[in-house]
Amino acid sequence: MTPSAEFSNVAEELEWRGALFDATPGAAHALATEKVTCYNGFDPSASSLHVGNLVPIMGLVRLQRHGHTPIALVGGGTGMIGDPSFRAEERQLMSIEQIDENVEAIRLQLEPFLDFQAKSNPARMVNNADWLRKTNLLEFLRDIGKHFTVNTMMGRESVKGRFSRDSGISFTEFSYQLLQAYDFLTLYERHNCAFQAGGSDQWGNILGGVDLIRRIHGAGPDGRPRAHGIAYPLITSSSGEKFGKSTGGAPTLDPKQTSPYRLYQYFLNVADADAVPYVKLFTLLNQVQIGGLDAAVKTEPEKREAQRKLAEEVTRTVHGQGGLDQALRVTRAFFGGDIAGLSADEMEDVLDGSSVTEIRRDQLSGDGMKFSELAVSAGAGKSGGDVRRTVQQGGMYLNGVRVEDADRAVVAGDLIEGRLLVIRRGRKSYSLVKLAD
RNA sequence: GCAGGGGUUGGGGAGUGGUUAAACCCAGCAGACUGUAAAUCUGCCGCUCAACGGCUUCGCAGGUUCGAAUCCUGCCCCCUGCACCA
């Protein structure tokens, strides 16, 4: 039995998980009584999705598990304009090459989450560049633009802020909502997709699409709306911060940018108060399992069972069992025992995928190089002074041994097995320096 | 366009001729404590230097001064009123 079997429908499940912020009238009813096709758009403005995107991604996953058909849309077309929703400033236009590159990267990241082989409800992946880039302006204005009043468009909370600013909003960005509505219409007509999900910041855009479909196709045969939408809440931590806003930016789903280890650590370190809500949002664990974790957090919070489970589940979902194993190995190595006891092979294996700095052998010959210089080039400090200060405070380690003098020479003899150096800053930040081949 | 206000170190925000690398708060970093937590406490938090010190910073460019973030001139940008939007 699947974990979702305990809920009679996906709307109920999303509600329980705290993942339902808003829904059009009739949306829940439709989800409960029909098998729908639902799409969610992903913006290609960055080269990778980040943890915040897990909410909509898991939304699609849950929909599919309840028998609905998910469509993941990557915005190769809309990305050329840029969504102005809740943004203070006009966006910088991106080059088409950059957009296409990002689209491809995001497409690859999304694929593992969905089942494209399912018999009755296989997932689909679409790119709105396929239709938007060849849209004819005059036809678009006659067929689509005519259904929108500027009055309504200006009333959207998501763009209101821009009118009062001096910098204003360009016509280009202002028309964004038409494009997203047109996407919805296109998917409705091509794939019978009558549902759209998205973050609460997308609510206005979603309603625009629902509205457009009604204007063009009228109400459904039973008098109910044909198209629906649901919105996910903006996730915040118990301390009120935007989810993902951690040190060094939001963790991404790209292992090259955020190693599985770092992703694991990010979730392992969430506050007690956030652990269970996050487990609900980001994992497929069922009510019984989550209930157990909830109890565990209350009775023995020091064990951090919920955090462990959360980190484990998310890391496995994003990076697979292999990624999780690696994250656990690194974690055990760093927080379990003595780092100095690890072999170079183990170190390398364990840090594979995280950022590694290379140095040439001649840089370590003779008097070698100053530790402070090495640490800066390895990214363990912002400047020589920064490293020096940290050393003075007792926060720097080379190969597991506390560094007493920032200017100590690092020579070839310091290399673990002649090829690796491990710099640790503070309790949990590690950098690896490798001898270039 | 006119009038008024303003652009200071990551953010907020003091500072109106020297004692200011620049108060204070937040964020960040390190240490202690701990559960790889929260809270708390301590130190740090432009670059450089073992240190003394040196150097570069207060929108941009000049200038006045022994000496300027602080005064003057020009320029750029932002905010607030008013006007304009035939």
Nearest residue by alpha-carbon distance to C1' of B48: A385
List the CATH number of the domain containing A265: 1.10.240.10
Residue from A88, A69, A72 nearest A31 by CA = A69
Residue A244 lies in a domain: no
Q: Å between A247 CA and B27 C1'?
A: 10
Output the six-digit token pair for A300. 């023995």
Q: Å between A304 CA and B32 C1'?
A: 23
Residue from A205, A243, A208 nearest A19 by CA = A243
A232, A250, A279 — which closes off a domain? A232
Q: In this predicted structure, what is the pLDDT of residue A188?
A: 96
Q: Decide which of A48 and A193 is more confident.
A: A193
Q: Å between A163 CA and B62 C1'?
A: 38
In this prediction, does ipTM exceed 0.90?
A: no
Number of domains in chain A: 3
List the CATH number of the domain containing A399: 3.10.290.10
A336, A361, A389 — which closes off a domain? A336
Which range is least confidently modeled, A35-39, A319-323, A428-432?
A428-432
pLDDT digit string (tens) for A72-101? 999 999 999 888 877 766 676 788 998 999
Distances in whole angstroms, Cα of residue A182 to Cα of each of A38, A173, A338: 15, 15, 58
Residues 6+ apart with CB under 8 A from A149: none
Output the six-digit token pair for A220. 């459904």
The nt closest to A328 (CA vs C1′) is B36
Q: Is the pLDDT of residue A364 over 50?
A: yes
Q: Å between A390 CA and B20 C1'?
A: 26
Q: In this predicted structure, what is the pLDDT of residue A3?
A: 46
CA distance A297 to A314: 18
- End-to-end C-alpha distance for chain A, whole angstroms: 52
Q: Is the pLDDT of residue A245 over 60?
A: no
Q: Is the pLDDT of residue A69 over 80?
A: yes
- A311 and A365 assigned to the same domain: no
The nt closest to A373 (CA vs C1′) is B48
Residue A193 lies in a domain: yes
Q: Which domain holds residue A147?
A: 3-232
CA distance A163 to A168: 5
pLDDT digit string (tens) for A366-403? 888 889 999 998 888 888 889 999 998 889 998 888 89
- A180 and A278 assigned to the same domain: no
- A413 and A288 assigned to the same domain: no
Q: Decide which of A188 and A418 is more confident.
A: A188
CA distance A415 to A223: 74
- Using pLDDT thresholds of 50, 70 and 90, give the confidence band for residue A8: confident
CB atoms inside a 10 Å sphere around CB A18: 15
- A86 and A228 assigned to the same domain: yes
Which range is least confidently modeled, A44-53, A159-168, A370-379?
A159-168
- Using pLDDT thresholds of 50, 70 and 90, give the confidence band for residue A339: low
- A311 and A418 assigned to the same domain: no
Pair A263, A251: CB distance under 8 Å = yes
Residue from A37, A123, A127 nearest A73 by CA = A127
- A169 and A89 assigned to the same domain: yes
The nt closest to A407 (CA vs C1′) is B50
A205-240 b/e with 16+ CB inside 10 Å = b?
bbbbbbbbbeeeeeeeeeeebbbbbbbbeebebeee
Q: How many helices (H) and strands (E) does chain A have?
A: 18, 13
Q: Is the pLDDT of residue A2 over 80?
A: no
Q: Å between A343 CA and B68 C1'?
A: 59
List the CATH number of the domain containing A180: 3.40.50.620
- Which nucleotides of chain B have an atom under 7 angstroms from any protein CB? 28-31, 34-39, 43-51, 78-80
- A106 and A192 assigned to the same domain: yes
Q: Decide which of A427 and A215 is more confident.
A: A215
According to DSSP, the residues that pair with A74 across neighbouring strands are A42, A127
- A39 and A180 assigned to the same domain: yes
The nt closest to A336 (CA vs C1′) is B36
pLDDT digit string (tens) for A126-161? 999 999 999 999 999 999 999 999 888 888 877 776
Q: Å between A165 CA and B3 C1'?
A: 20
- A388 and A414 assigned to the same domain: yes
- A222 and A327 assigned to the same domain: no
Q: Å between A164 CA and B20 C1'?
A: 39
- A375 and A317 assigned to the same domain: no
Q: Å between A51 CA and B62 C1'?
A: 50
A193, A215, A232 — which closes off a domain? A232
Residues with CB under 7 A from strand B: A 164-167, 239, 247, 265, 268-269, 271-272, 301-302, 304, 307, 331, 335, 372, 376, 382-386, 388-390, 393-395, 407, 425-429
Residue A252 lies in a domain: no
- Using pLDDT thresholds of 50, 70 and 90, give the confidence band for residue A164: low
- A203 and A283 assigned to the same domain: no
* Exposed/middle/buried for residue A180 (C-beta within 10 Å: 0-12, 13-18, 19+): buried
CA distance A40 to A409: 55
Output the six-digit token pair for A190. 């091509």
Average pLDDT, chain A: 86
- Once rounded to an integer, what is the mean pLDDT over residues A229-236? 85
